[in-house]
Amino acid sequence: MTDEASTDCDDAVPDRVGILAGWGSFPVELAEHYRSHGAQVHVVAIKGHAAPELENLSDSLRWTGVLKIGAGLKYFESKSVRHVAFAGKVFKDRILYHGRGWIEHMPDFTCYRLLGSSFITRRTDGRDDTILNAIMEEYRRRGIEVLPITKTAKHLLASEGCLTQRRISRAQRRDIDFGWQIARQMGGLDIGQSITVKDQIVLGVEAIEGTDALVTRTATICPRGGFTLVKVAKPNQDMRFDVPTIGPQTIERLARAGGSAVAIEAGKTIVVELTKTVELANKLGISIVVQPAEASKSEIARDAAAATPKASCTDLIVANQRPSSSRTQVQSASSRAA
């Protein structure tokens, strides 16, 4: 009961927390964060994806195939974990279409039961949202809450403003405004999160291949460089999974590909290793711009229902775009980056 009480407070970390860890440094940073708040950390690490250093950062860890959904659940249950965070990308293509994938990630019975309709009978589609919602529903049914990043590690979310010394040019501003609208609409289709833009032309669109592959490909499309990477949350982004993420590797890859700026969304994008990311961007001459978050329709509706009758819809949008904690977050981001 302690755990549940503790999560009532918005930013509180549960005493005992599980991480279902995919690729990259986000699960690592999350584990460090939880440990630094005195929580016990139990990790289910996805083979071929999760970082080995998680072994030293957790109280217990089990390696498993991504499709061993029942096994993961059982492991968390055995450790009495009642709160789990899904963190880090899972490369669906590596699992589904590449040689060793199916062997390493052989589905267990729970997986068949949950995802059979996506991959065997194909009654439902194979979009991330479809799959992850089915998995989360099973966690919920077994009494385990999947935590949104906004609840336990809010500080990892980017705050509005330009994070780098290098500001953006007027042409880049136009590219970002243009790309932003396109990427938002793309996000609504749940295909990918990123596009690359130059001269108000969409150079590339991300699907299953991931942002890194998109950036690398853009280098061959536009060897002259100078393009912008626009990475946005979906209009109804579920903050429990698939939250757009950038980090040092994004910046490095962008610089190598000749890109010159990246635009992300405030309060809805994770910046892993913030200090290192900003330092690297400054060194490599990349601008990082955090755009004000756009309120989704459902957010506006929800807030409108809760609002006093006098508040207009515009007020609500503005309020949503500029959360009250925004300034403090920008400051803390800058101070961390300094």
Least Å distance between CB 253 and a second copy? 17
Among 9, 103, 189, 338, binds a second copy (CB under 8 A): 189
Positions in 233-292 near a second copy (CB under 8 A): none
Query: Is residue 125 involved in binding a second copy (CB under 8 A)?
Result: yes
Point out which span in 59-67, 97-105, 230-238, 295-303 binds a second copy (CB under 8 A). Answer: 97-105
Positions in 191-220 near a second copy (CB under 8 A): 191-192, 195, 198-209, 217
By three-state DSSP, how is residue 46 classified?
strand
Spatial neighbors of 304 by CB under 8 A, at least 6 apart, are 311, 313, 316
- Nearer CB in complex with a second copy: 169/298: 169
Among 223, 309, 310, 335, binds a second copy (CB under 8 A): 223
- Classify 38 in phi/psi space as left (phi over 0), alpha (psi -120 to 50) or beta: left
Query: Is residue 178 involved in binding a second copy (CB under 8 A)?
Result: yes
Sign of CA dihedral 276, 277, 279, 280: positive
Query: Is residue 105 involved in binding a second copy (CB under 8 A)?
Result: no
Which residue in 292, 273, 287, 310 sits closest to 168, CA to CA? 287
CA distance 190 to 102: 24
Cα dihedral 283→287→292→294 (10° resolution):
-120
Query: Is residue 132 involved in binding a second copy (CB under 8 A)?
Result: no
Least Å distance between CB 296 and a second copy? 17
Query: Is residue 103 involved in binding a second copy (CB under 8 A)?
Result: no
**DSSP string computed for 199-258:** TTEEEEE-STT-HHHHHHHHHHH-TT---EEEE---TT--TTS---EE-HHHHHHHHHTT
Point out which span in 150-158, 179-187, 306-314, 319-327 binds a second copy (CB under 8 A). Answer: 179-187
CA distance 51 to 180: 32
Q: Per-residue x/- mask for a second copy, residues 76 to 95, rule CB under 8 A?
A: ----------------xx--
Site of interaction with a second copy (CB under 8 A): 92-93, 96-99, 118-119, 122, 124-127, 171, 174, 178, 182, 185-186, 189, 191-192, 195, 198-209, 217, 221-224
